[in-house]
Structure 1
Amino acid sequence: MYCVVRISKISSVAAILIISLNVKAAESISPAGPIGGTDIRSALLPPPGNYGAAVAGGMNIDKWYSSDGESMDADGHVYFAGTGLLHVYEQTLLSGTIASSLYLGALETCFGISKVSCDSGIQDIYSDVFAWSLFNPAKNFSPDSPIPYGTAYWVGLGLNIPTGDFKKDRVPNVGSNFYTISPNVGITHTMPSILPKGAGDATELSARLFFNYYTENPDTDYQSGYVVSLDFAGTQRSGPWQYGITGTAYKQLNDDTLNGENLGNGGNRAALLSVGPLLAYDFNIDGKPYNLMAKFLTSAWGENTTGVSGLTLRLATEL
């Protein structure tokens, strides 16, 4: 019974550990941790223990969105690979589960309008310093079912640590050279399917809302404005399969600054909406639960950022 419950939650580990690859504002091509990176089961935590995820993929950059939402041709790509670790503590807090995570990865990024430039190497470290999840089971919840009918609530604090390579006279850069502090809240609601029976056993709605504060880059005296971002997924669960639509949206709230002065061009405020399909599969090998997920996101609209499309793969399990 314990393994059945575990496998229904393994993909939440990967959702916590996956990286983001949207290009934001003027300096950073790798905004903090889970921006754009959470999707299904994003407010759930697995039982106490240690968990890991491997992530890989690539994105094509084909446009640059101007401040009025119009786009121009651009060129570039991002290839990435990494691993993440999640520790779920034995202790509880206010009847909820608590955890911390750490992500390490490497990437190659290339971008340009008329001339393409590249950088590659180890990227910034991301950590969910603190994560808290409370699950309220529904009346039809059963510990013997792989589907966790009910509602999970999430509160977390993310931190992007500027350990990646950065040079102020180079664009793009793998590293950001500034800290990002990201308090966030989330919810995952799983209910009997709202679609015809052939579409699956359950419907899941997940969302995470982040507030991102960026410190000033000490080498350039540049500081990006606050960003609010929303990750979301609406999916169907059918046996070990889960499929549906996922996406991410973010909006910058205030102007970027240089040497403490607001920038022109509307403050270089960035915004983006990306959506696409998602497919996930739960399975066991020698009694150990795994979750394999693939999603393809495409930018639908943006301002002062790049338009991207690409595939992300991840595999998560208990260690």
Structure 2
Amino acid sequence: MRENWRFSAIIVVFLSVLAVPVRALAVEGPTVAGPIGGTDIRSAIMPLPGLYGGFITVGAGTIDFLDRHGETIPALRDAQLYKELVGPFLYYVPNFKVFGGSVGFGGIIPGGNQCGSLFIGQRDRCNQGVGDPYVEFDWGRYYGTPRPSRNPNAYPILEGLNLMLGFGMVIPSGQYDNADTLARVLSMGTNIWDFAPSIALTYTTRPILAEGTEFSAKAYYNTYLENPETHYLTGDLINIDWAVSEHIGRFQVGVAGFYAIQIGDDEFFGVPIPPDGLRAETLQLGPVIGYDIPEHATSMKLKALTSAFAYNTVTAWSVVFGVFKKF
């Protein structure tokens, strides 16, 4: 489950133009599949058999609320939302093969603080709690030949192709408040099931710039169920996390990105939202750096993203820090 805000507040503006009472609206904020902070480097690499765990922390904030033309919505020109999240996770890889590859499964439960306001003159409010858990089952296989790093204290480099297929699910058990528009936006949970098959590829070249250039991407196809409290249905959405990075001893440094495009219309009581189904699209870009500590079976990652463009959604910034360890 990711840290980004969906198009929740903008729905109010469009439907108010249509004279639909705001109190009757389903102002939605579904997430996209994947752990908070997303995936980027090594996204298709299945760990060796064993139990892994760690945590991911995210700080994020909105910059602007944009319509389908990418223009600021006047009614939301002063809107601002920000959040601080932390998510402990576990991931287990059993010691057996399936079709020549490995299987793994894990989950993450985010929690934290969300604050902000939407409309002119509205006071900031905050909400703390636990969000919706995200679980995922994966199958992965490596097609290549590992080679040692030039740094004898670094992990080997997996030159070649890694493939991963998975299925993820957001379980709507987090704190959810349907009292009013802002309460829904600031809720830690979404009250919406999300089912998402995924495919990931990671390809690492031979040494060219330093010790090998890695191209990595993971795509999810999100299918949402209707929110039973509000009768709002979010259209199918594809999100892709990617990174291009270089291996340099214990470090991995590069550029990361997140792209999402909604391919189905949002619906309210089964009726598509005019004029375009509120189909969202966004691209975020920024630097990423990873650091391995093999003597402690630990890796760390720091990433910062900001929006390059957005339509029918918000522009935002985020900073992500994570620690991954084998027990």
Distance apart, 1:29 and its partner CA: 5.2
Residue 291 of structure 1 aligns with an amino acid whose one-letter code is S
Q: Does 1:135 align with 2:142?
A: yes
Mark the runs of 5 or more structure 1 residues left unpaired by the alignment.
1-18
1:33 lines up with 2:43 in the alignment: no
> 1:188 is matched with which residue: 202, 205, 219?
202
Matched length: 292
Taking only the aligned residue pairs, the percentage that are identical comes to 30
Q: Deviations over 1:140-181 (max 9, x none)?
A: x33786111110001000000001111223231211101100
Compute the displacement of 1:260 (Å): 0.9
Unaligned runs of 5+ in 2: 9-27, 150-154
User: Counterpart of 2:320?
Assistant: 312
Does 2:272 align with 1:262?
yes
Which structure has the highest strand share of the two?
1
Q: TM-score, normalised by structure 1?
A: 0.87
Query: Which of structures 1 and 2 has the bigger CA Rg?
Result: 2
State how far apart, in whole Å, the 2-side matches of 1:212 and 1:32 are: 7
After the TM superposition, which residues 264-303 of structure 1 pair with which residues of structure 2 at under 5 Å, given as runs? 264-284=274-294, 287-303=295-311
Equivalences for 1:1-319 in 2 at 5 Å? 19-26=1-8, 27-28=28-29, 30-34=31-35, 37-72=38-73, 73=77, 74-114=79-119, 115=122, 116-128=124-136, 130-138=137-145, 141-142=146-147, 146-169=156-179, 170-172=183-185, 173-195=187-209, 200-284=210-294, 287-319=295-327
Distance in 2 separating the partners of 1:268 and 1:35: 24
Q: 1:35 to 1:210 in 2, by over 3 A?
A: farther
Amino acid at match of 2:190: S
When residues 229 and 36 of structure 1 are mapped into structure 2, their CA distance, relative to the original with a 3 A threshold, is farther
Distance between the aligned counterparts of 1:118 and 1:251, measured in 2?
Answer: 29
Matches of 1:94 and 1:25 in 2, distance apart? 41
Amino acid at match of 1:90: N
TM-score, length-scaled by structure 2: 0.85
Q: Do the aligned partners of 1:25 and 1:269 also contact (CA within 8 Å) in 2?
A: no
The structural deviation recorded for 1:36 is 6.0
Change (3 A) 1:36 1:71: farther
RMSD of aligned residue pairs (Cα, Å): 1.7
